[in-house]
Structure 1
């Protein structure tokens, strides 16, 4: 099995998680407003008093490449999705959730310090003390990121514990290719940068030609046809067509969303 790709936090996911946490914080503050004992608590501390909501668990799973779409494309059944959701929910208890929220905050703080000092360095305004602090800040960021990624790796391992090695391999391949601007079924296979670019351009040509009522470029049509005929791609596309609805429902039910 190829090494699992780094756990990245997409901006959209970060926004969703942050909004959910802030919403909970606002409700908690309103409920505790009359109790002086809680008046000194910060919003971050208040947010860490509760276990994650179902939508937060789902968003966190997406950070490690596990969604209803990727599960379906990997050939997982509704039963598999139920196990993934239940295992993730069991792992992401109050303790582990709080650790992840804290780690995310530490990474954000460390990144902000690196950005602040980096601007001084790039502008030629940094003195020796700033240069030393910059090196320390980058080291701190690397450490905090490693800690955060370790927590996400633990969630991933818990969530896929009941899946087959073939299913987890496909999940990891799709996660590693998730930044490629192509439909999901194409990300089950690895390609060179040049091949990804050619596929993206060919798909765009076919789409644009159809919108304009014109015939697509023959070479583009041939390339996409050949990619669609690849066993892994064809299987993933078929799995999405036949399994997505059931997998989505099962995952949401396991997470307590239905």
Structure 2
């Protein structure tokens, strides 16, 4: 099995399997916090508290690192093909690990540019060129990452028929908003209650927009995404330090007044 050959801190460990008659069961390591979907899109049903901004960015960075390993370290490269919130599992400290490699496909080798295959995966997460032609590349995963990252930023499902018609498809709803920086705050999950760094929100949405480019060639590689998310984390720390310094200065001013 493919997963038994892949080892990375952001991929689930395969403990074993059970084969009995026509029954086949895979046994993964136990992930205490379930899936990202449980904490992001199924809050009411699972009685979970909303994830804070820092945790969302931590999960995004770890998941991106897992995809980077599959695309750029595994030999031959592996295309995950079913990247979505329910396939990102979380341990006790909310470290993410990719699971369910049932649709994973060995990437193109020997100078080939793509793998031709039957279109599979979950509606809404598939890259447009893959959905239209069945031509699969690592950039197909990059698009799927962009969709999930946008779900993490907005708290919205990629397809939600309960919303007004124009807002049912997350990517279609977000596309015009990407073009107007003044509307970026409208895209932040209301459950965050405004508790996020503005610069961090702008940068996160910029990463999502790059991953969701219509043309596969214009999307970044996962190593580029990992680098961008690491920089986003650094910026977050710097912003927090600036805020703390400003608060200290304000406190000193107040004392001087007294």
TM-score by length of 1: 0.31
Select the structure of larger CA radius of gyration: 1
- Which of structures 1 and 2 has the larger relative contact order (alpha carbons within 8 angstroms, sep 6+)? 1
Q: Which has the higher strand share?
A: 2
